[in-house]
């Protein structure tokens, strides 16, 4: 009987042992690779909106003043260029620079590229890279956003305080459809389900660090309701609802 006591004591000790410390799995360091863009000047290339095509594992890089769009294979890092985009010299904040293709968005079997050099939006076959249809705007494009639910491409054109809407029901043939006007200058954007949020820069405020505003429009409403959501002078942080429209105005930056 006495010989069993050490074994019972050992079992009791196991039953009341403290929980083991959590296992920490080390995270491998991030790895980056530099890829030289062809035709880049010594001072580098001014880049704006890039786009990733998950169907072909490619990154589309509109390379501005080089007059090229560089397509990088995300797996092999191989680079293919589409040449021949018009460029032009413009002055911004007292400095002259050469502008050209600057934005891209992925559509249905095509990629749309916006070019500041000639204010065009052109479609390219996402597989073969062949050029398809184009539409030329009367204002320089900034950001592009493809909206699958309505078969549209939304183009911010801050110089005339508007967003242009292109009909891409036929993916390779963009057609101008409508224009939304704003008090501010729409530039950047983000998509959240069926909501498009566009940042509006207001001249004089940005340099002072006051930031701009963010306005949200629900994609898919008819154009008259979109126009009905035009800015109403609401204050920072106030949320307005108008039927299916949601307008949010808040300070950014």
Q: What confidence score (pLDDT) does residue 10 get? A: 42
161 shares a domain with 224: no
63 shares a domain with 130: yes
Q: List pLDDT tens digits, range 103-117.
A: 999 999 999 999 999
Mean pLDDT of the chain: 75
189 shares a domain with 116: no
Q: What confidence score (pLDDT) does residue 109 get? A: 97
Report if residue 127 sits inside a domain: yes
Domain interval for residue 250: 183-253
176 shares a domain with 67: yes
209 shares a domain with 141: no
Report if residue 92 sits inside a domain: yes
160 shares a domain with 56: yes
Lowest model confidence (mean pLDDT) among 119-123, 157-161, 166-170, 192-196: 192-196
3-state secondary structure of 42: coil
Does the pLDDT at position 19 exceed 90? no
Report if residue 24 sits inside a domain: no
Q: List pLDDT tens digits, range 143-164.
A: 999 989 889 999 999 999 899 9
Report if residue 153 sits inside a domain: yes
Last residue of a domain, one of 147, 181, 215: 181
193 shares a domain with 115: no
| CATH number, domain with residue 143 | 2.130.10.10
Report if residue 25 sits inside a domain: no
Number of domains in the chain: 2
User: How large is the average pLDDT for residues 92-109?
Assistant: 91
Report if residue 37 sits inside a domain: no
Last residue of a domain, one of 181, 206, 234: 181
Last residue of a domain, one of 128, 151, 181: 181
168 shares a domain with 47: yes
114 shares a domain with 56: yes
Share of the chain above pLDDT 70, in %: 66
User: How large is the average pLDDT for residues 41-55?
Assistant: 90
Q: Work out the pLDDT band at 253, boundaries 50, 70, 90.
A: very low
Q: What confidence score (pLDDT) does residue 18 get? A: 56
132 shares a domain with 75: yes
Q: Work out the pLDDT band at 181, boundaries 50, 70, 90.
A: confident
Does residue 45 or residue 112 have the better pLDDT? 112
């Amino acid at each position: 009987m006495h010989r069993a006591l050490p074994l019972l004591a050992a079992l009791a000790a196991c039953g009341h042992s403290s929980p083991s410390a959590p296992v920490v799995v080390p995270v491998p360091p991030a790895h980056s690779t530099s890829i030289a863009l062809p035709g880049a000047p010594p001072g580098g290339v001014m880049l704006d909106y890039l786009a990733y095509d998950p169907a072909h594992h490619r990154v589309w890089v509109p390379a501005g003043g080089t007059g090229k769009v560089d397509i990088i294979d995300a797996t092999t890092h191989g680079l293919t260029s589409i040449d021949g985009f018009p460029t032009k010299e413009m002055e911004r904040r007292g400095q002259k620079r050469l502008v050209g293709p600057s934005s891209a968005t992925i559509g249905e079997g095509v990629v749309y590229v916006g070019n500041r050099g000639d204010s065009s939006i052109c479609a390219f076959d996402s597989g073969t890279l062949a050029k398809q249809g184009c539409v030329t705007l009367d204002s320089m494009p900034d950001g592009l956003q493809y909206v699958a639910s309505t078969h549209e491409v939304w183009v911010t054109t801050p110089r005339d305080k508007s967003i242009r809407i292109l009909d891409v029901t036929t993916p390779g043939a963009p057609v101008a459809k409508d224009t939304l006007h704003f008090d501010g200058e729409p530039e950047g954007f983000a998509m959240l389900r069926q909501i498009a949020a566009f940042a509006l820069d207001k001249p004089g405020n940005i340099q002072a660090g006051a930031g701009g505003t963010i306005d949200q429009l629900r994609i898919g409403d008819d154009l008259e309701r979109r126009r009905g959501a035009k800015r109403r002078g609401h204050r920072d942080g106030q949320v307005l609802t108008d039927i299916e429209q949601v307008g949010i105005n808040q300070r950014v930056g």
